[in-house]
Amino acid sequence: MTDGLVPLIAGNWKMNGLRRDLDELRAIARAAGAGAGPRPEILICPPATLLMAAAEICADSPVRLGGQDCHSEANGMHTGDLSAEMLADAGAAYVILGHSERRAEHGETSETVRIKAHAALRAGLTPIICVGETRAERDAGEASSLVAAQLKASIPPHPGPALVVAYEPVWAIGTGHTPTPTEVAEMHAFIRAELAADLGDRAARVRLLYGGSVRPENVTEWAAIDNVNGVLVGGASLKSADFMQIVSAFE
């Protein structure tokens, strides 16, 4: 954790979730509204088909909503795409950008991510920019140079404090394998320093999330690390009980 920053616990539902699964979101919204003490900020990024229904469910709760990607344009001839403005209109406050699954499956480059991040800020959304190395890159000792290059190319020039960076080693996503707490601590300190070189004092306000096989069983390891200001959770965000256990580690 870092003094002065409200932790962000973000759930990425990916391509999972039908209307019946909104019961899990209802349970998250109920639990989030119930706590008395200071709570971390809670965010769920459902598939876009559920955003409007999710916004109704979360209307009276502190749970925020986000998209999982957006187009760079506000509107136009882009069949199948969604703009940041559309996500905001549907109830999103955040958007995940440059997730490794999009980088791998849709050929997204850091340059694309930067243009999308600019679009997100234009629409009033907070971009969550994902970076992270593959196993081969880590084994070759290239993790930090790769992450530095991704950061440099993905972050728009004047992001303001409304920026979140998620460090997600590709090899930890959905695998049950995670880096050691020392490796995460080193990478997050490195990311903070890289951001400071580019953004100056504003870098201290950027929340840095760890993502990759975050589970109720291992979350206390991440919550104890300096410069880990929350987590980005895939699989374990689909079950409200697991997700809320992860939230409570940051209370």
Active-site residue list: 99, 168
Find the binder of ligand PGA among 112, 150, 213, 240 (CB under 6 A).
213
From 1-9, 41-49, 180-188, 226-234, give the range in contact with ligand PGA by CB under 6 A.
Answer: 226-234
Residues whose CB is less than 8 angstroms from the CB of residue 246 and which lie 6 or more positions away in sequence, other chains included: 9, 214, 215, 216, 219, 231, 233, 236, 237
From 35-43, 104-112, 190-198, 207-215, give the range in contact with ligand PGA by CB under 6 A.
Answer: 207-215
Contact 31, 65 (CB under 8 A): no
Burial, 217: exposed, middle or buried (Cβ in 10 Å; 0-12, 13-18, 19+)? Answer: exposed
Q: Answer yes or no whether residue 17 interacts with ligand PGA by CB under 6 A.
A: no
User: Which of 8, 236 has the CB closer to ligand PGA?
Assistant: 236
From 50-58, 78-86, 182-190, 227-235, give the range in contact with ligand PGA by CB under 6 A.
Answer: 227-235
Residue 247 token pair: 């939230």
Q: Is 230 strand, coil or helix? A: strand
d(CA 14, CA 169): 17
Convert residues 145-174 into a mask of x (bound to ligand PGA by CB under 6 A) and - (unbound).
Answer: -----------------------x----xx
Q: Would you tell me which residues interact with ligand PGA (CB under 6 A)?
A: 12, 168, 173-174, 211-214, 232-236
